[in-house]
Chains A and B, each alone.
Chain A
Amino acid sequence: MIENAIIFSKEANKAIVTSIFGEVNPESEDFSDSLAKIREIAIKLEKGVFNLDLSAGLIAIIFAIQSISVALVFNESLEKRAIKEWEDVAKQIASGIDKIYDPMSADIESSELKKILDEIVEWHLKEESPIDKMKDALW
């Protein structure tokens, strides 16, 4: 099933948020080659969804949303039908965020959501996670 999720900033040209759901840590050395491949596509991808086969029996679904891209990494045991469902979820998220970022949208709720998303992305660009900070400063 799902191993991890990574959000990339196209502006910063790097991963800004990572989440682990399974056994594969996106920040581990073992995953560094796969991360480099994902990053390359995530930064270049302008719109839509991209399926990427990785080594070590992993696959990634990468989808682009304005200035950010999201990669969901699965192990190979995922059935084709399940991949299709995740793709649909990714598209739904992407279209939802597209709506929020639509410059023609005058919806107050959308503008509030955009503000929150921008704030979170900006903040993550600037600040590292507590674990990263501890590793950087002390551990």
Chain B
Amino acid sequence: MADLPSDVSLGALITVGIVTLAVTIVVIFLYIRYFERRRLPAITLAVTFTFWDLGAISVFVGSLIHYLRQPIAAESIQAVRYGFNIGYAFSAISNIFLVIFVSQIFAQSPMFRKTYKLVPLINAIFNGVTIGLIIDVIIADPTNPAYGLAQTIYHLVMTFIAFLLLLFFSIGARGKVQFRWEKAGFSFIIGSALAGIMIYLMLALDRVATLFVPGFEEGYTPFLYIGWTFAILMCTLAYAGYIMPMFLRRLFKEEKNHG
């Protein structure tokens, strides 16, 4: 029996739509910040979130086309599969830029000081493998590209590495700050990175549950919704941590960090 995607539910479509909107808002704020400051790390971060946004848009558009055309015959193009696969490819590019951003902000650390751009370069090559895997599945079956567990797990590992680098260095920097608002900034970034890891963990668990757990064969398991909820949380924390809106600055500013 052909491995066909499940029908897209309206709830899933709305959830992905909200995620896409949330990322788009963060992207707009990041570009505004870049045009105010004109600094390299600001544009790198904006590009990171742009690719993540393109990934979310791909999933949303793929799901929307699928939703509007369903039920879709087995021999017709399975749009939702394209949405997810292209989404993962954009997410892999986002991982590449995230590690470049980390290497720019934490350039003083021995890891980046001694290796120059070797870490981002190796990370880019390994994330390129994700894109290669996706191109492979599209070529193998252009009508219904597989949404395989292997590529989902591989991408989870690569995302885990990228966010772990951000986490590790942000925790270190958080311990050295002088003011509460700086500590809050790094805390939000740490929270955003943790939420980022949880998104892909939940997407992988959704795939595992769909493939191996009886009763979840139809897909769109609770893990997927939890994952997207983490995506909204990641965007909210990223907005707070990277943009630091005025009300947050006022809330934390001028108070010394004694903790």
Nearest Cβ distance between residue B17 and chain A, in whole angstroms?
28
Contact A123 B113 (CB under 8 A): yes
Is the CB of A103 closer than 8 A to any CB of chain B?
Answer: no
Nearest Cβ distance between residue B109 and chain A, in whole angstroms?
8
Q: How far is the CA of A26 from the CA of B77 in the complex (A)?
A: 63
Pull 17 A–B residue pairs with CB atoms less than 8 Å apart, ordered by A: A25-B178, A27-B178, A127-B108, A129-B108, A130-B105, A130-B173, A131-B173, A131-B177, A133-B105, A134-B105, A134-B185, A136-B39, A137-B37, A137-B40, A137-B41, A137-B42, A138-B242
* B 116-145 to A, binary, CB cutoff 8 A, 1 in contact else 0: 000000000000000000000000000000
Contact A133 B104 (CB under 8 A): yes
Nearest chain-A residue to B39 (Cβ)?
A137
Nearest chain-A residue to B101 (Cβ)?
A137
Q: A127-B107, A130-B105, A134-B105 are in contact. Are A20 and B39 (CB under 8 A)?
A: no
Residues of A within 8 A of B169 (CB): 130
How many residues on chain A are close to B (CB under 8 Å)? 19
Q: How large is the interface on B (under 10, 10 to 19, 20 to 34, 35 or more residues)?
A: 20 to 34
Is the CB of B182 closer than 8 A to any CB of chain A?
Answer: yes
Is the CB of A124 closer than 8 A to any CB of chain B?
Answer: yes
Nearest Cβ distance between residue A120 and chain B, in whole angstroms?
8
Residues of A within 8 A of B242 (CB): 138
Contact A130 B108 (CB under 8 A): yes
| Chain B residues within 8 Å of A, Cβ to Cβ | 33, 37, 39-42, 45, 104-108, 113, 169, 173, 176-178, 182, 185, 242-244, 256
In the complex, chain A residues 83-139 whose Cβ is within 8 Å of any chain B Cβ: 119, 123-124, 127-131, 133-134, 136-139
Residues of B within 8 A of A128 (CB): 108
Contact A131 B176 (CB under 8 A): yes
* A 1-32 to B, binary, CB cutoff 8 A, 1 in contact else 0: 00000000000000000001001010110000
Contact B41 A138 (CB under 8 A): yes
Closest 5 CB pairs of A and B: A137-B39, A137-B41, A137-B42, A130-B173, A127-B107
Q: How far is the CA of A68 from the CA of B256 in the complex (A)?
A: 30
Residues of B within 8 A of A25 (CB): 178
Residues of B within 8 A of A131 (CB): 173, 176-177, 182
Nearest chain-A residue to B41 (Cβ)?
A137
Contact A136 B37 (CB under 8 A): yes
Residues of B within 8 A of A129 (CB): 108, 176
